[in-house]
Structure 1
Amino acid sequence: MKKIAVVGAGPGGLAVAMLMAHKGYDVTIYEKQDYVGGRTSEIKLGEYKFDMGPTFLNMLYIAEEIFELTGRSINDYVDLIDLNPMYQLIFHDKKINMTRDANEMIRQIDELFPGNEGSYERYMERTQKKLEVLAPVLQAPMNRMTDLLNPKVLKAAGELEIGNSLVDTLSKFYKDEDLQLAFTFQAKYLGMSPWESPGAFSILSYIEHAFGVYHIKGGINKLTDAMAKVVKELGGKIQLNSGVKKLKVNGKTVTGLVLEDGQEIIADEVIINGDFANAMTKLVEPGVLKKYTPEKLEKKQYSCSTFMLYLGVNKRFDLPHHTIWFAKDYRKNVEEITKTKLLSEDPSIYIQNAVVTDDTVAPDGKSTLYILVPVPNNTSGIDWSQITAPFKDLILNMVSDKLGITDIREYIEEERIISPEDWERDIHVYKGATFNLGHQLSQMLVFRPRNKFEELDHCWLVGGGTHPGSGLPIILESARITANGILKEHKQPLHPVKPLPKVEHYKPVRKDKDLAHQPAAIHMN
């Protein structure tokens, strides 16, 4: 039994531990914190329960496959809830409920955005074909430059739309800018403006509309709890409060770990699930790395950060499970986050009101409000020790106004803030960049840190800082790529990859008489 040491019990580390333990390896995860899940963990404030980070579960089929590959069903471990509508988007003069119901999407687009008739059908049909071409690239290893010559990669080259931004691509389908933004806002979380993000990312909204957005009863953190349970069922071990001080390196070969308490761990393979840039600057002694030195890591491009407010309130609000309010000047807001690195006076805001779907997260008659505000990462030089209080007041005033109440503060019983500074200091996120390295083409595929880490032997990466990128389901996919890389080195059978689930698109009925029974589209005064 070869020994595998995993640094970090985030979703990537847990998933790769599941896959390797199922193959008979001796797997131990070493976690610095006293909880599993990393950013996908639970925050408890009195009687209120929150997800720390991810609140959307999409591409469910990947999580299902990870469990299936260990002979298990995800449904035996978590209670999945298919959200409909998936989320509500609110612009300054209108709001739209994003749903998998094609007829309802078309009805709303026809009424709210006249002149865009037929756009949704064309987008769904064309982007399905794009995803079918790109998915194999996102599921394949990218450990050598020659991997770019793989026929699947060459076939997908045109779909990367290197010359087009995401807005350029969406403008081929949607004439109205607000409607384009309704299908592009996810790019901000990849560290990019939709006016600069590669057009390939038009697949992100399609994936939600084709496969849905899910909630897990109790929170998305229940997924990582379930994964930890499976690791232990398979004989793997998870050591909490076991921070890693450094990698044991002999020349260019990693031979194990040194824990913060001085204990030395010998391992045949080491898998790093910690935040990539943080791990490289903290766990590797100076002079060992050439490509990813602290100086070179400083020059990489990173995602935005997030200002988080977790509020336990003694009231229930008429608010969907997920709501995103766009800044009136969204382009200016995005540029302030990604370019000028300024705090917006009119920021965009995301609120999760999970209790409308899941009554386990708050007591009767009360709610958990999870508020996320995209802000510049810590390369901005913003002094959060000075700005946190006034920025919190700005956000609470905005939320009060948007909820149509005098003051949300009257209802707050529990509260926690995580600022970009907190992300970096307490949760060990490099520069507070919540979504890791940016997804510019210069930092994707083989140009992203590789699953089989190129600078050290017997060292592997998993998580948002390696191929194929950030986002919970993509992190799970990185775990399968890394697991299969190790298995291939050891000449063992690989974990198979299923084809994309079938999606049946149809020509929705557009006759007025067939839509007459449906409620009117939602408008705002």
Structure 2
Amino acid sequence: MKQQSRNAVIVGAGPGGLAAALLLAKSGVKVTVVEKRGQVGGRTSTMEQDGFKFDIGPTFFLYPQVLKEIFSAAGYDLAAEVPMTRLDPQYRLVFGAGGELLATPNVERMEKAIAAISPEDAKRFHEFLTHNRTKLAKFLPFLQSPFESWRDLAKPEMLKLLPLLAPWRSLDGDLQSHFKDERIRLGFSFQSKYLGMSPFRCPSLFSILSFLEYEHGVFHPTGGCGSVTRVMARMCREMGVEILLNEPVERVLIEKGKAIGVKTANHSLPADAVVVNADFAGAMKRLVPNRLRNKWTDEKLAKKRYSCSTFMMYLGIDGRYDDVSHHTIYLAKNYRQNLRDIEELHRLSETPSFYVQNACVTDATLAPAGQSTLYVLLPVTHDAGMIDWAEEAPRYREIAIDQMEKIGITGLRERIRTEKIVTPSGWASEFDLYKGSTFSMAHSLGQMLHLRPHNRFEDIDQMYLVGGGTHPGSGLPVIFESARITSRLLLEDLRMEPQWDAAATAGNAIPRETLVGVAS
């Protein structure tokens, strides 16, 4: 380890903050991570209740290559540190309009599954993969680079990509060139929920999300996604990073337009650089006075578009539903109206779409013997002042349980032994998410690339951002990529060289043989 002559404070021990801590510590920066909660991970952490363990937020672990490279850069091996199971089938899709699809990374079996619903569309699956393989390969260098002005967008190599990226088309519009049956298109576009957006509004670029699942796999880390951040925190400490828990930051210390540290209830921590790994809008309103922000004032933040929120149920139950897949997504017959209720009308749907993780069919470590966990997510509007969740939560709980019968989860009420419900109000109060938006600012064209908050924060010098609120955006692999971008910019400003091996960050997808195996 190099002698630590410069220091950085990272606000928040979420996945982006921990990844940045690893990279900066490897490069000789003395790093302190300050976390308001009593455990690391932020929303990528584990909730334990009555012997049951639940991921609080992300449950899909996608494209592990980015994290594999970060682990390697820090001198660790992801496969050895975090055992994972590649799922096959990846998930089950149940269509309210009729039919279902067991999504598998096996191309031949997937074609047969699609053919059972739409024979013509099955013939186009290979074409979809080929098209998006090219799209990802050509756009990946831009996802790995900072976008700090329109000039980055106007580079000749970026302009050449416009016909391929087709930013004027929605995700659903792009998929219409491959698939005619709307159910099949929904099967390749529901992933826009990772961005908190409708496929009918989400930019066409994000067809690469479903492609990543089929090309590189959907994984379950043993112990859940929260186990990943726990391991990262252990690695950070082994590399000399100090992690302060139960230490909420009151404000960023700013002098002459520069961040010079942070103030908590117990400490003033000076720093050469401050990295904020928290919900962007909420953090700005709490940590930086409005008068010191020009581009991102409270007034401007209020005018931005924000993602949907989620109504969550974490259920510990007797027995297991062995016939229910690890991941199941139910897409309501009135899917378009569901989305309109969420994005435009800010009201609750009476027959909502939903997602259930039944993780114990893969990972028995999450529940006591003879019992299991269910993680239930219903996309709902962010807090627009239209819903009183204190009144609506009990009613919506009953709707959710009734809806789950449509995927084979029957007799549930009698089997529940412990539960926790989180509403948009809970996301706002427990996790300081602005408007309870669980996916931060929406990924619309006007809020992407250089129009998203920059990794090198525009309004305050020596202040940097990581996480879903900055470029490149939401989703674990993208958040890890934001940590790499931000770490390079910070080191550049400190006139320090990144001390991670370029060869370690130039590999291909993580080899299947290094993982635990394939769950079926």
TM-score range, shorter chain: over 0.9
Q: CA deviation at 1:380?
A: 4.7
State the distance in 2 between where 1:31 and 1:6 align: 9
Aligned: 1:42 with 2:79? no
Q: CA deviation at 1:502?
A: 6.5
Q: CA deviation at 1:121?
A: 0.7
State the distance in 2 between where 1:443 and 1:401 align: 36
One of 2, 8, 16 as aligned partner of 2:12: 8
State the distance in 2 between where 1:101 and 1:74 align: 24
Aligned: 1:180 with 2:185? yes
Aligned: 1:52 with 2:72? no
Runs of 5+ in structure 2 lacking a partner? 512-520
Residue 307 of structure 2 aligns to a residue whose secondary structure is coil
Counterpart residue type for residue 431 of structure 1? K
One of 155, 158, 175 as aligned partner of 1:170: 175
Residue 96 of structure 1 aligns to a residue whose secondary structure is strand
One of 277, 281, 287 as aligned partner of 1:273: 277
One of 106, 125, 133 as aligned partner of 1:128: 133
State the distance in 2 between where 1:177 and 1:396 align: 26
CA deviation vs aligned residue, 1:321-376 (integer Å, no higher than 9, x gap): 00000111111111111111110111111000000000101122211000010000
State the distance in 2 between where 1:286 and 1:276 align: 14
Contact 2:62 2:218 in 1 (8 A): yes
Query: Quick check: 381-390 or 25-34, which moved more?
Result: 381-390
Aligned: 1:237 with 2:242? yes
Aligned: 1:370 with 2:375? yes
CA deviation vs aligned residue, 1:244-283 (integer Å, no higher than 9, x gap): 000111121111111123x211100000001100010010
Query: Quick check: 96-105 or 485-494, which moved more?
Result: 485-494
Contact 1:448 1:466 in 2 (8 A): yes
State the distance in 2 between where 1:342 and 1:355 align: 33
Contact 1:133 1:155 in 2 (8 A): no
Q: CA deviation at 1:11?
A: 0.4
CA deviation vs aligned residue, 1:472-520 (integer Å, no higher than 9, x gap): 110000000000111222333335484573699xxxxxxxxxxxxxxxx
One of 87, 90, 94 as aligned partner of 1:83: 87
State the distance in 2 between where 1:17 and 1:276 align: 19
Contact 2:86 2:217 in 1 (8 A): yes
Residue 333 of structure 2 aligns to a residue whose secondary structure is coil
CA deviation vs aligned residue, 1:449-473 (integer Å, no higher than 9, x gap): 0000000000000000000001111
Counterpart residue type for residue 294 of structure 1? D
Aligned: 1:190 with 2:202? no
Aligned: 1:444 with 2:448? yes
Q: CA deviation at 1:402?
A: 3.6
Counterpart residue type for residue 40 of structure 2? V
Contact 1:148 1:446 in 2 (8 A): yes
**2:309: which partner in 1?**
305
Contact 1:254 1:269 in 2 (8 A): yes
Contact 2:135 2:165 in 1 (8 A): no
Contact 1:11 1:472 in 2 (8 A): yes
Counterpart residue type for residue 135 of structure 1? L
Aligned: 1:480 with 2:484? yes
1:443-462 equivalences in 2 (<5 Å): 443-462=447-466
Q: CA deviation at 1:130?
A: 0.7
Residue 372 of structure 1 aligns to a residue whose secondary structure is strand
Residue 290 of structure 2 aligns to a residue whose secondary structure is coil
State the distance in 2 between where 1:294 and 1:340 align: 24
**1:216: which partner in 2?**
221
Residue 475 of structure 1 aligns to a residue whose secondary structure is helix
CA deviation vs aligned residue, 1:34-65 (integer Å, no higher than 9, x gap): 01000000011111111000000001101101
User: CA separation of 1:76/1:188 partners in 2, compared to 1, >3 Å: closer, same or farther?
Assistant: closer
Contact 2:64 2:510 in 1 (8 A): no
TM-score (norm 1): 0.93
One of 323, 330, 335 as aligned partner of 1:330: 335
Residue 116 of structure 1 aligns to a residue whose secondary structure is helix
State the distance in 1 between where 2:159 and 2:76 align: 35
Aligned: 1:25 with 2:57? no
Counterpart residue type for residue 171 of structure 2? L
State the distance in 2 between where 1:502 and 1:424 align: 36
Contact 2:167 2:204 in 1 (8 A): yes
Contact 2:249 2:263 in 1 (8 A): yes
State the distance in 2 between where 1:392 and 1:218 align: 26
State the distance in 1 between where 2:234 and 2:367 align: 25
User: CA separation of 1:197/1:392 partners in 2, compared to 1, >3 Å: closer, same or farther?
Assistant: same
Residue 8 of structure 2 aligns to a residue whose secondary structure is strand
Residue 169 of structure 2 aligns to a residue whose secondary structure is coil
State the distance in 2 between where 1:209 and 1:380 align: 39
**2:393: which partner in 1?**
388
State the distance in 1 between where 2:66 and 2:354 align: 28
TM-score (norm 2): 0.94
Counterpart residue type for residue 242 of structure 1? E
Aligned: 1:491 with 2:488? no
CA deviation vs aligned residue, 1:295-338 (integer Å, no higher than 9, x gap): 11111111100000000000211211000001111111111111
Contact 1:134 1:159 in 2 (8 A): no
State the distance in 1 between where 2:475 and 2:360 align: 24
Contact 2:146 2:485 in 1 (8 A): yes
**2:508: which partner in 1?**
501
Q: CA deviation at 1:145?
A: 2.9
Aligned: 1:103 with 2:108? yes
Contact 1:187 1:197 in 2 (8 A): yes
State the distance in 2 between where 1:159 and 1:448 align: 22
**2:430: which partner in 1?**
426
**1:287: which partner in 2?**
291
Counterpart residue type for residue 299 of structure 2? E
State the distance in 1 between where 2:181 and 2:335 align: 14
Q: CA deviation at 1:196?
A: 1.6
TM superposition outliers: structure 1 runs of 4+ over 6 Å: none
Contact 1:191 1:338 in 2 (8 A): no
* Alignment coverage as a number of residue pairs: 502
User: CA separation of 1:380/1:426 partners in 2, compared to 1, >3 Å: closer, same or farther?
Assistant: same
**2:261: which partner in 1?**
256
**1:514: which partner in 2?**
none
Residue 116 of structure 2 aligns to a residue whose secondary structure is helix
**2:516: which partner in 1?**
none
